[in-house]
Amino acid sequence: MGLVNGLPAHVLLVHFVVVLVPLTALALTVGAIWPSAARRMGVVLPLLALVTLASVPLATGAGEWLEEHVGDNALVRRHAELGDGLLPWALGLFALSALVWWAARRTAPAGPAASDGTRWSALPVRAAAVVLSLVVAAGAVVDVYRIGDSGAKAAWHDGFSKTATGTDADDR
pLDDT band at 105; cut points 50, 70, 90: confident
Alpha helical stretches, state H, 3-43: 9-33, 35-41
pLDDT digits (tens, 9 = 90+) for 127-154: 999 999 999 999 999 999 999 999 999 9
Residue 120's pLDDT is 47
> Binning pLDDT at 50, 70 and 90, where does residue 167 land?
low
C-alpha distances out from residue 35 to 24, 41, 43, 105, 130, Å? 16, 10, 13, 9, 10
Instruction: Provide the β-strand partners of residue 8.
Output: 3
Mean pLDDT value of segment 44-56: 98
Q: Judge whether residue 110 has pLDDT over 80.
A: no
pTM of the model: 0.85
Q: Tens of pLDDT along 52-99?
A: 999 999 999 999 999 999 988 999 999 999 999 999 999 999 999 999
**Which pLDDT score is estimated for 165?**
73
With cut-offs at 50, 70 and 90, classify the pLDDT of residue 164. Answer: confident
Average pLDDT, rounded, for the chain: 89
The pLDDT of 92-111, averaged and rounded, is 86
